[in-house]
Amino acid sequence: MDPADFVARLTPVSQKFEQAGVSSVAGLGAMDVAQALAGLDRGPYLLSIVMWAGDTGSLYHLENKLWADVCLVATEQKWIVTVGAEMLRGLSKMAVAEFVMPRLCAVCRGRGLINSRNGIVRDCNMCRGTGKAKISGRERARFAGISQNSWQRVWGSRYESYFIAHLNGWEIVASDHIRRKLNAA
């Protein structure tokens, strides 16, 4: 079973999962999920409950965890952050929002598929079947309050390599963990 599908079973919140292509099935109890997530590190754990169990109350903690981890990298690598740690915090918030609650593609409305005129269903060209709207570097820079120039030279690649990559890593760890637990059960 797909981990997302598994965690989705716990919650009646289904619209989000349907959008993500995960069918929601009622049935598993809180103990099941507690068991499957037990032993996960904080980052992957928070990501799982926010992304797959609809626990939006933990978004704030997820953002803070990412922020704290990136601050460690920043110190290690001696990043020059002119406007202080708050800027890293803003980027953490943006990365979490983008990762956990992606904007839906305007063409297919998040389905990833479109019906062409002759009735054939095919992958949406705009989002290449992901259902997610692509956010440009220009938009990210504007949202983060960083100049386009500075975004292109420095922040764009840091954003991908540390913020988004961190979340990606957590998702992989969490999926593997849940899969292992399910197989062992």
105 binds Zn ion (CB under 5 A): yes
Per CB under 5 A, which region of 38-46, 62-70, 122-130, 159-167 contacts Zn ion?
Answer: 122-130
Cβ 106 to Zn ion, closest distance in Å? 8
127 binds Zn ion (CB under 5 A): yes
49 binds Zn ion (CB under 5 A): no
Binding mask 55-94 for Zn ion (x = CB under 5 A): ----------------------------------------
Pick the closer one to Zn ion by CB: 100 or 114. 114
Q: How far is CA 78 from CA 35, 74, 98, in A?
A: 40, 6, 26
102 binds Zn ion (CB under 5 A): no
Residues contacting 24, CB < 8 A, separation 6+: 8, 9, 11, 12, 13, 14, 17, 18
Q: Report, in angstroms and rounded to the nearest whole number, the Rg of the chain calculated over CA atoms.
A: 18
Pick the closer one to Zn ion by CB: 3 or 110. 110
Binding mask 155-184 for Zn ion (x = CB under 5 A): ------------------------------
Q: Which two tokens stand for residue 117?
A: 């005129």
Rounded to an integer, what distance in angstroms lies between the CA atom of residue 136 and that of residue 97? 15
Pick the closer one to Zn ion by CB: 10 or 124. 124
Per CB under 5 A, which region of 18-26, 78-86, 126-134, 140-148 contacts Zn ion?
Answer: 126-134
Rounded to an integer, what distance in angstroms lies between the CA atom of residue 107 and that of residue 127? 8
Burial class (CB in 10 A: 0-12, 13-18, 19+), 119: exposed
The DSSP letter of residue 122 is E
Task: By CB under 5 A, name the binding residues for Zn ion.
Answer: 105, 107-108, 124, 126-127
